[in-house]
Each structure stands twice: as structure tokens, then as C-alpha cells.
């Protein structure tokens, strides 16, 4: 049995924290200004889109290339008849449901402690409880098929790339040390971002579960960034940044697996230099993704793109653009306000509204309730180009 309390040391790149704090200032400033002109109800609609996007990219990193259009259908309980595709769609539904539960948990209890074994096991258990039974297995030592136990640590040893993950008998001790080391209250606001990056690697390094470690780590990191105050509104996706160059993401993780390089490379078992490099990459990825999303939220350009979509659709009248624009600006609109917004006769306005609802461009909590903006996969290439491929 190894000395598991130090095997993941150093837990923070202590020698580079000042530089990393300066780097994180940029990300914080960008996060403070993202979509600040948008109505809160519109932000909720954008956040739902980003949640789906986060699932898309997190699962894409794992080799699941289910399209956004297929994800939308799965969320409406319309699953593929192909059993392999169906199981992949369930992965997306599970990811989205768990992320929503995490956000609700932190919204209702700002003091909730995410750095506990119970919470990490809960993330894993919630994800795999939704996954069909036939998808809950992994190849273990000697090629044997092993059932994944939701929320339970692995009971066998495993290589992750070229790295032999921590011995299964040491997982409990390593995870206790991990949770103690990364308590969010230990860090200032800027250091929390670095701690989110460092803990992301160290959790992947421990590899505590039989499967689903990458998804669990990214969901945990999402929670950590909420606690850091940099993604409380869910308007950008770290997983998109990782997935844009999956090989770079994996190579950065692998580099941080390295043992201490020399006498001046920190005082832990692992390389502090490599951990710092991963944390810089982590911070740069955050800044890059916030910049990208901010560029999509510029009102004038966004409205130009929505107008082009309406013009290209072929079934919508040009007045639909006015309805969509007003809904984005005001957050919600009353059904009876369509004639006033468009200048259309009431009956014509009702028909146009029905088209917008049928296409999923607007939605409502009730048949007669106020209307809110929606972002189905069919409009993504127009509204938010390069966000992710719709089909």
C-alpha cells in the first residue's frame, strides 16, 4: 500500500500562483461582462442551450458523436431505434440531468460543500442510474467484462494511457486527501479558478471509478467553477474548449501525470511544473471560450443572423423576426401582443405565432402562458455559428 496522502502532491502549483492569478483576472473580467445586456429570462434560455452544448462536447471527448438534433429528440423522449445510438443518446440525457441537478443544488445552498467523497460518488451514481443496464460495463483486467457500480469506486487496477492509476486499495485514502486539499473555502476568488484546474487533473489522475471518470471530472469542475463565481449563469462551456483540440486536452492531462522532474520542481511526488502548465492551459481555455460566446451575444450581429434565418426559412413571414427580437429583448412577451409588435391582423398573427411554436423557436410554460425564446438545433448554424454542428 502506497502513501496515498502524498501521491497526488503537489495539489497546487504554489510557485506560479501569482502568475496564474494575473491570468485568471482576464477570465473573471470577461465573465463579468458576458451577455450583461440580456434579460434574465433570455439568459435562462441561453443557459439551457449551453447545458446541451456542454453535454455534446463532454461526450464528444469520450467518442460519443451524437448530434444536437438527436439530443433534442432524446430530451423529448424520442430515442433512436438503433440500440447503440439509443445508449449514446441516454449518455447525453444523463449528463444534462446531472448538470441541472448540480446547478439547482448550488443555487439552493450556496454553502454546499462539493469537495466530499459523497458528492463525487453522487455525481457518478446519478449519471449511471440513468444509463441503460447494457451500457454499464467495462473491460477489466484480463479482458473480463465488469459491471459498473454507480457511485462506487473501482475494485481493480487500471492503466490510463501510459499512467498506472492509483492502486484501487488506495483510492479511499487518496480521495479523502483530495477532498481535504481542494475545499473551496481555502482559496481566494482567483485561486479557486486555479484550484478548479488542479483538481480537474488530480481527480482524473486518481481515476476513482471503473468508468465515467472523465465525465464525472468535468461535471465536478463545472460545480467548482460555479463555486468560483465565474460560471454561475452557465453561459459558456469549458468542455467545448477541451473538445476543440481533444488531443491537446489529453496531452496536457498526461503531461501533468509526470513525476517530479528535478530538485527544483516543487516538493511533491508529481511535477509542479507540469501541473502549472495544465493550470495555465485551463485558464486560457476559459478565457477563450468566454470570448467566443461573448462574440455571439453582440445584439446587432445576433439580430442580423436571426433575420437571415427567418428570410431563409421559406415558411415564415418577415414579421417573425420582430417577434423573436422582441422576445429576446424583453425576456417574455404576451400572446396578445403579437399584432402590436408586428402590425399583423390578430388572426394572421396567431397563425404566425403557431408556426414559431411548431418550429420550437418560441416556447411557453402553459398553453396560454407568456412566450419565451428557444434555441432548437435547427437554428444553431444561423443564430450561433460555430457553436456546434447541428446535424
More confident residue, 310 or 6: 310
Confidence of residue 312 (pLDDT cuts 50, 70, 90): very high
- Domain 14-296 matches domain 299-383 at the CATH topology level: no
Average predicted confidence (pLDDT) for the chain = 93
Query: Residue 225: CA atoms inside 13 Å, Cβ hemisphere, count?
Result: 27
Give φ, ψ of 153 to 5 degrees: -70, 155
Spatial separation of the C-alpha atoms in residues 203 and 196, rounded to whole Å:
10
Q: What pTM was computed for the model? A: 0.94
Distance CA 57, CA 19 (A): 29
pLDDT band at residue 160 under the 50/70/90 scheme: confident
Q: CB–CB of 260/271 below 8 Å?
A: yes
In the predicted model, what is the mean pLDDT of residues 121-139? 89
Instruction: Give the span between the Cα atoms of 198 and 153, in whole angstroms.
Output: 21
Q: Sorting pLDDT into bands at 50, 70 and 90, what band is 390?
A: low
Cα of 369 vs its chain's centroid, Å: 30
* pLDDT at residue number 145: 83
Here the cell at position 106 is 448550488
pLDDT of res. 6: 57
E-assigned strands of 280-373?
362-364, 371-373
Mean pLDDT across 74-87: 93
Question: What's the CATH number of domain 14-296, 1.10.3290.10, 3.40.30.10, 1.10.10.410, 3.40.50.1010?
Answer: 1.10.3290.10
pLDDT for the residue numbered 51:
96
211: left (phi over 0), alpha (psi -120 to 50) or beta: beta
> Which grid cell sits at 350?
396567431
Q: Which residues contact 28 (CB under 8 A, 6 or more apart)?
A: 189, 190, 193, 230
Give the start-to-end residue ranges of the domains of the chain.
Answer: 14-296, 299-383
- Give the CATH fold of the 299-383 domain: Arc Repressor Mutant, subunit A (1.10.10)
Calculate helix-pair angle for 272-296, 189-206, nearest 10 degrees. 120
Residue 143 is predicted with a pLDDT of 76
Amino acid at each position: 500500500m502506497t502513501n496515498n496522502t502524498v501521491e497526488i502532491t503537489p495539489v497546487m502549483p504554489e510557485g506560479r500562483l501569482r502568475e496564474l492569478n494575473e491570468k485568471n483576472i482576464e477570465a473573471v473580467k470577461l465573465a463579468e461582462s458576458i451577455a450583461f445586456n440580456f434579460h434574465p429570462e433570455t439568459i435562462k434560455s441561453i443557459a439551457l442551450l449551453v447545458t446541451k452544448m456542454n453535454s455534446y462536447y463532454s461526450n464528444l471527448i469520450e467518442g460519443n458523436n451524437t448530434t444536437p438534433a438527436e439530443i433534442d429528440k432524446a430530451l423529448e423522449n424520442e430515442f433512436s431505434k438503433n440500440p447503440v445510438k439509443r445508449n449514446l443518446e441516454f449518455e447525453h440525457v444523463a449528463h444534462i440531468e446531472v448538470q441541472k441537478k448540480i446547478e439547482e443544488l448550488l443555487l439552493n445552498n450556496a454553502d454546499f460543500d462539493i469537495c466530499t467523497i459523497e458528492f463525487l460518488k453522487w455525481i457518478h451514481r446519478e449519471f449511471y442510474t440513468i444509463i441503460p443496464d447494457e451500457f454499464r460495463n467495462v473491460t477489466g483486467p484480463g479482458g473480463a467484462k465488469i459491471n459498473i457500480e454507480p457511485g462506487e469506486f473501482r475494485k481493480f487496477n487500471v492503466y490510463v494511457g501510459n499512467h498506472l492509476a492509483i492502486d484501487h486499495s488506495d483510492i479511499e485514502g487518496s480521495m479523502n486527501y483530495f477532498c481535504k486539499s481542494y475545499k473551496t473555502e481555502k482559496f481566494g476568488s482567483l485561486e479557486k479558478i486555479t484550484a478548479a484546474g488542479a483538481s480537474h487533473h488530480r481527480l482524473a489522475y486518481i481515476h476513482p471509478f471503473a468508468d465515467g471518470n472523465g465525465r464525472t471530472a468535468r461535471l465536478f469542475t463545472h460545480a467548482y467553477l460555479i463555486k468560483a463565481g465565474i460560471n454561475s449563469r452557465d453561459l459558456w462551456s469549458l468542455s467545448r474548449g477541451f473538445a476543440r483540440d481533444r488531443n491537446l486536452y489529453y496531452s496536457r492531462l498526461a503531461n501533468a501525470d509526470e513525476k517530479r522532474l528535478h530538485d527544483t520542481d516543487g516538493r511533491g511526488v508529481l511535477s509542479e511544473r507540469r501541473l502549472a502548465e495544465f493550470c495555465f492551459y485551463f485558464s486560457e481555455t476559459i478565457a477563450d471560450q468566454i470570448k467566443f460566446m461573448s462574440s455571439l451575444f453582440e445584439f446587432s450581429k445576433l439580430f442580423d443572423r436571426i433575420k437571415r434565418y427567418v428570410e431563409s426559412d421559406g415558411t415564415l413571414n418577415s414579421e417573425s423576426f420582430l417577434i423573436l427580437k422582441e422576445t429576446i429583448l424583453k425576456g417574455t412577451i404576451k400572446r396578445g401582443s403579437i399584432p402590436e409588435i408586428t402590425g399583423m391582423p390578430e388572426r394572421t398573427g396567431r397563425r404566425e405565432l403557431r408556426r414559431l411554436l411548431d418550429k420550437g423557436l418560441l416556447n411557453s410554460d402553459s398553453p396560454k402562458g407568456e412566450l419565451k425564446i428557444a434555441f432548437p438545433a435547427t437554428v444553431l448554424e444561423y443564430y450561433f455559428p460555430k457553436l456546434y454542428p447541428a446535424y
